[in-house]
């Protein structure tokens, strides 16, 4: 009886020791899931202008050099990169909001410029004064921004909140494109036109910020960050007229790393500085992000890119305008494109 008691006692002690050794492995808590970040919006969020895009089977021009990818890489967020070149408010509603859920942690969105027809306005204003109605085009866009845009944004923001009730939402604005000088061949923006175009960007930001505030969202305004880095500045963070044309008047790689990323990340938390490690991590995420976005490719292909058109002085309309203004168009072209 004593031998059995001693044996049982030893087995009990051994069993307790084994449980003690194994219990840390058995009761390890599950690793916390990465915060879910959904990037919505248009070309200023997708990364158009950076000249390198993920192969997701669309024309959305999503780039690992764009601020959503850089922020996600730096902070370890699980990114769903839905922003797409050409997207309007109806496009965001119809093709992008489905990515939002009650588990979404962060949302960023830039939209409204395409709805206001900003690409068409730039196309008109890039022509010589005698061939364009730049002021008329700006007036029409401003009427939309003052009249229709606020209500459309309010409806969109309400939909975002209902789909992602717990998310921190940051609405992202647009920079001023110009600095008063046009150094690009084959465009004829006057200083006065550039000033009005910058005022239009400010107006969109003002109306967008007001709508964001009403919805309880934060607003990231990039205007100050891009001062000294507009088209024709040095260094230039915004492309001028470019080849291919779709790159025109959009932030380049420096515009996203030095301009947008600190501003937007600062509205989400602490402002980020983009390091080489962040760039490398963002680039490494490209294949996985492309695979994720392919599931939405059919819907994304319904979005039509909004592209600035290069001035064409050979059209019958422009030649008629030249004759009416007393302009020898051939001499004008030769003189202004040397």
Structure tokens at 245: 């044309």
Q: What is the rounded CA–CA span in Å between residue 184 and residue 168?
A: 40
Would you please indicate which residues are annotated as catalytic (active-site) residues? Answer: 43, 250
Q: How far is CA 100 from CA 61, 81, 103, 163, in A?
A: 21, 11, 8, 6
Structure tokens at 327: 């302009």
Cα angle 64, 57, 99 (rounded to 5 degrees) comes to 70
Backbone angles phi, psi at 81, to 5 degrees: -95, 85
Best CA proximity match to 68, nearest among 191, 242, 251: 251
Q: Which residue has the tokens 């009761």?
A: 27
Best CA proximity match to 116, nearest among 139, 97, 94, 93: 139
Tell me: cis bond preceding 56? Omega within 30 of 0 counts: no
What distance lies between CA 261 and its chain's CA centroid? 10
Q: What is the rounded CA–CA span in Å between residue 92 and residue 276?
A: 32
Asked if residue 264 lies in contact with residue 56, where contact means CB atoms within 8 angstroms, the answer is no
What are the DSSP calls for 18-58, one per residue?
A: HHHHHHHHHTPPPPPPPPEEEEEESHHHHTTTSS----SSS
Structure tokens at 186: 């084959």
Q: What is the rounded CA–CA span in Å between residue 99 and residue 293?
A: 11
The strand pair at 168-172 and 36-41 is best described as unpaired
Q: What is the rounded CA–CA span in Å between residue 304 and residue 14?
A: 71
């Amino acid at each position: 009886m004593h031998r059995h008691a001693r044996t049982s006692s030893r087995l009990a002690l051994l069993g307790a020791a084994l449980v003690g050794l194994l219990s840390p492995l058995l009761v390890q808590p599950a690793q916390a899931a990465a915060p879910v970040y959904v990037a919505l919006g248009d070309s200023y969020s997708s990364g158009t202008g950076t000249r390198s895009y993920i192969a997701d089977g669309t024309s959305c021009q999503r780039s690992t050099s764009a601020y959503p990818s850089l922020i996600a890489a730096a902070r370890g967020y699980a990114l769903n990169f839905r922003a797409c070149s050409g997207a309007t408010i109806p496009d965001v509603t119809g093709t992008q909001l489905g990515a939002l859920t009650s588990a979404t942690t962060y949302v960023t969105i830039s939209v409204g410029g395409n709805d206001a027809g900003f690409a068409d306005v730039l196309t008109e204003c890039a022509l010589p004064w005698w061939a364009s109605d730049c002021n008329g085009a700006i007036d029409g866009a401003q009427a939309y921004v003052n009249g229709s845009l606020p209500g459309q944004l309010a409806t969109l923001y309400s939909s975002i909140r209902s789909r992602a009730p717990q998310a921190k939402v940051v609405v992202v604005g647009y920079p001023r494109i110009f600095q008063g000088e046009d150094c690009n061949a084959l465009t004829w923006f006057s200083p006065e036109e550039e000033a009005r175009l910058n005022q239009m960007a400010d107006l969109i930001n003002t109306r967008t910020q007001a709508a964001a505030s009403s919805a309880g969202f934060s607003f990231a305004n990039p205007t100050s960050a891009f001062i000294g880095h507009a088209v024709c500045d040095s260094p230039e963070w915004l492309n001028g007229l470019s080849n291919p044309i779709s790159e025109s008047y959009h932030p380049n790689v420096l515009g996203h790393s030095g301009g947008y990323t600190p501003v937007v990340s600062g509205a989400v938390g602490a402002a980020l500085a983009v390091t080489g490690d962040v760039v490398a991590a963002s680039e490494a995420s490209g294949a996985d992000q492309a695979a994720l976005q392919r599931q939405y490719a059919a819907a994304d292909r319904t979005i039509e890119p909004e592209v600035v058109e290069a001035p064409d002085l050979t059209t019958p309309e422009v030649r008629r305008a030249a004759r009416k203004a007393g302009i020898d168009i051939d001499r004008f072209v030769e003189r202004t494109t040397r």
